Amino acid sequence: MSEVLYEGKSKIVCKSDRDDAYIINYKDTATAGNGAKKEDLEGKGKLNAEISNIIFKYLEENGVKTHLIEVIDDITVLVKKAEIILVEVIVRNIAAGSFSKKYGVPEGTALKNVIVEYSFKSDEYGDPLINDQQITAIGLATQNELDNMAAQALKVNELLSALFLKAGIKLIDFKLEFGRAGGEILLCDEISPDSCRFWDAKTNEKLDKDRFRRDLGDVLAGYRDVLSRLKTNEER
Ligand code: UDP
């Protein structure tokens, strides 16, 4: 592996032979509760890499600017160097997870409008919810950048909701990360069952990281199901 610049919970960022690019390796490690629960799930890295690559290519084809340059192997991608904005953008279509808990709205409740919310990307402070004014006040991003990210996030939501519906999957919610590169804001990180909630459209079976968070059984069976349905979609 080339020189490691940063090792995160689920990915490793390395130097590449290009000044304007990094290499990212997907790991098998699964974590939840800000790292409190941690386990290696053999093959998770490969599944997430493949799912995320399919999604990023689809988004790029549909006008969303992403960091993905090329796929190097099963678990490795070359991406544009970007300065990650420390704001996680969460989009919700249906109540679940922390939203359900915090506001007493049962999981599975349809929301009257799509929600875009932000959290401060910080392991130290436990990714707390943060609003526009707090973000601009402490200089995590400008209002322009936030407006850009929110608009991109809503576009991603429309594109992905349609893509997954074709695959018989409901997109409940998801988290995006963005970065600054050459005066642009790029969609970075990954989009996978680690960062989204995917429910089977007929049975509501959970096909995402909630299987790990909540000990619902074979975690990767859900991830494999998501991947195979995306591939079937592509063949159509
Ligand atoms: N999410 C994520 N990383 C985080 C927090 C949330 O990828 O650090 C994703 C999560 O998988 C879900 C969505 O963002 O698809 C909303 O998560 P929520 O706020 O409900 O938090 P959770 O229940 O995961 O703690």
C-alpha 13/C-alpha 81 separation (Å) is 10
Does residue 34 register a pLDDT over 90? Answer: no
**Span 167-177, average pLDDT:** 98
Counting atoms of ligand 1 from 1, which one is nearest the CA of 208? 11
C-alpha 41/C-alpha 213 separation (Å) is 13
* SS3 state of residue 115: strand
C-alpha 130/C-alpha 125 separation (Å) is 12
CA angle (16 as vertex; 13, 19 as ends), nearest 5:
110
Ligand 1 centroid from CA 196, angstroms:
7
The strand pairing partners of 198, in sequence order, are 171
Does residue 164 register a pLDDT over 90? Answer: yes
Domain 4-80, CATH number (from 3.40.47.10, 3.40.50.12500, 3.30.200.20, 3.40.50.150): 3.30.200.20
Domain with CATH 3.30.200.20 in the chain: 4-80
Does residue 27 register a pLDDT over 70? Answer: yes
Ligand 1 centroid from CA 90, angstroms:
8
Does residue 1 register a pLDDT over 70? Answer: no
Ligand 1 centroid from CA 175, angstroms:
6
> Domain 83-218, what fold?
D-amino Acid Aminotransferase; Chain A, domain 1 (3.30.470)
pLDDT class for 31, splitting at 50, 70, 90? very high
**Span 219-228, average pLDDT:** 98
Q: Is the pTM of this model over 0.95?
A: yes
Does residue 168 register a pLDDT over 70? Answer: yes
CB under 8 Å to 85, separation ≥6 — which residues? 140, 141, 145, 149, 177, 178, 179, 180, 185
Ligand 1 centroid from CA 210, angstroms:
9
**Span 16-38, average pLDDT:** 96
The strand pairing partners of 199, in sequence order, are 170, 206
Cβ < 6 Å from ligand 1: which residues?
A: 90, 96-99, 127, 173-175, 195-197, 209
Does residue 215 register a pLDDT over 70? Answer: yes
Does residue 2 register a pLDDT over 90? Answer: no
To the nearest whole percent, how much of the chain has pLDDT over 90?
A: 97
**Span 118-124, average pLDDT:** 97
Domain with CATH 3.30.470.20 in the chain: 83-218
